[in-house]
Structure 1
């Protein structure tokens, strides 16, 4: 299968180094570099820069630590997160900010499908990655995957929410169907439900509303999809 073009380092934060070793080897076989750290070190590593493309959290024995880590990282970063945990934590993991929450004993093939999807989602070309977008006082930085409110505060988005916002901002005034947003963000991998876009749009609007009236800039078009009506000012 095709490996994403972007050369990203995968950060593996774990409480089970015995599991992390074969995971790192599997990533290497797919041409992906990785770094393994303890769960307690993950937050500082993510904050240290933008060299990491994905965070994989392996929380096999420490109940709740993986969820707490997701919540903590989501306050400052939009890095895509895959959480491997117990079955009882699956839904909690998504609510905590993980993009995918999978059982701890998920086979490597399935895990790699999700990793590749997240990398493709982040694989903007170099021109796009340098192009910061401003609208109504907001700032979207695709390279750092940051959204800054007019007051300068960081607004944490899930990777899918960030990609939806980018897709809408790239084509202001153009109605984008749910299907096209699924295709643009790879949200529907393994579960191609167009209504999942509505959930992400709802959450995105709620977060934008916290920093002003930007939520109103994403409008619903009946039987069409969504359209961004704000004025875009690329840098």
Structure 2
């Protein structure tokens, strides 16, 4: 892992994570980012994901040139629990590869080879869009489904009659992940990535226990759930219409 800072004196320096399989490209890009007055951190695989969960990066650059499938999987894990902007770097401009990058949750996709100036321009463009989005959505809007109201800002869950339901931090995080991804199958690993409560024990057992408890609170019939459905060999899917 490498990191550094450029121009001093800024109150908040932009922090960028460069995640990939290793190589000269990542170091070259990190040097260019640092030269522009930003901070760059290089990490690979699980370590990259762990750092992204712990630290508030402003942008993630995924090097999908080597091991595209693993990079896109990491992107899905990131997107399950974060709205941090992601730029995917792919080996070529084939439509199927570019589509796979966007479908995994990338905000932009650039094909190698490319010039450093082009990459820096894309970084600035994505950061601007993210800044505009934060300015217009400074407070996260509540989710509504089947009469229920989930407020990410207040971290409250209310029944259709307005009464507040007690939920644990993990249960709340899981429900937010479902509301952000309605109709999409979420693996247990993706759901684990969305929680900030530090679930203990094996992934399958931890997630299944929390899902079971969550069903007890929001399903009319927890034994025959209609909102959080189990997908065999896949994970779970949130079947409600989310507004």
Q: TM-score range by the shorter chain?
A: 0.5 to 0.7
Shift of 1:64: 1.4
Pick closer, same or farther for the CA change 1:66–1:132 going to 2, 3 Å: closer
The answer for the alignment partner of 1:155 in structure 2 is 177
Task: Between the two structures, name the one with larger relative contact order (CA 8 Å, sep ≥ 6).
Answer: 1
Shift of 1:61: 2.0
Shift of 1:73: 1.5
1:15 aligns with 2:27: no
Aligned pairs (5 A) from 1:43-192: 43-50=49-56, 52-87=57-92, 88=94, 89-123=97-131, 131=139, 133-134=141-142, 136=144, 137-140=149-152, 152=172, 153-155=175-177
Cα offsets for 1:75-122 (capped at 9, x unmatched): 211111001012242111011111111113222122112211221223
Aligned residues: 156
Cα offsets for 1:130-157 (capped at 9, x unmatched): 745546523355xxxxx99877323386
Pick closer, same or farther for the CA change 1:138–1:58 going to 2, 3 Å: same
In the alignment, the residues of structure 1 paired with residue 73 and residue 53 of structure 2 have an alpha-carbon distance, to the nearest angstrom, of: 16
In the alignment, the residues of structure 1 paired with residue 135 and residue 118 of structure 2 have an alpha-carbon distance, to the nearest angstrom, of: 32
Scaled by the length of structure 1, what TM-score is found? 0.55
8 Å CA contact retained: 2:152, 2:176: no
Higher CA-based Rg: 2
Pick closer, same or farther for the CA change 1:25–1:133 going to 2, 3 Å: same
In the alignment, the residues of structure 1 paired with residue 77 and residue 50 of structure 2 have an alpha-carbon distance, to the nearest angstrom, of: 11
Q: What SS is found at the alignment partner of 1:123?
A: helix
Cα offsets for 1:141-179 (capped at 9, x unmatched): 5xxxxx998773233869xxxxxxxxxxxxxxxxxxxxx
8 Å CA contact retained: 1:14, 1:39: yes
Cα offsets for 1:196-231 (capped at 9, x unmatched): xxxxxxxxxxxxxx585543xxxxxxxxxxxxxxxx
Shift of 1:127: 8.7
Shift of 1:128: 7.6
Q: What SS is found at the alignment partner of 2:106?
A: coil
In the alignment, the residues of structure 1 paired with residue 114 and residue 67 of structure 2 have an alpha-carbon distance, to the nearest angstrom, of: 18
**RMSD of aligned alpha carbons:** 3.6
The answer for the alignment partner of 2:162 in structure 1 is none
Q: What SS is found at the alignment partner of 1:7?
A: coil
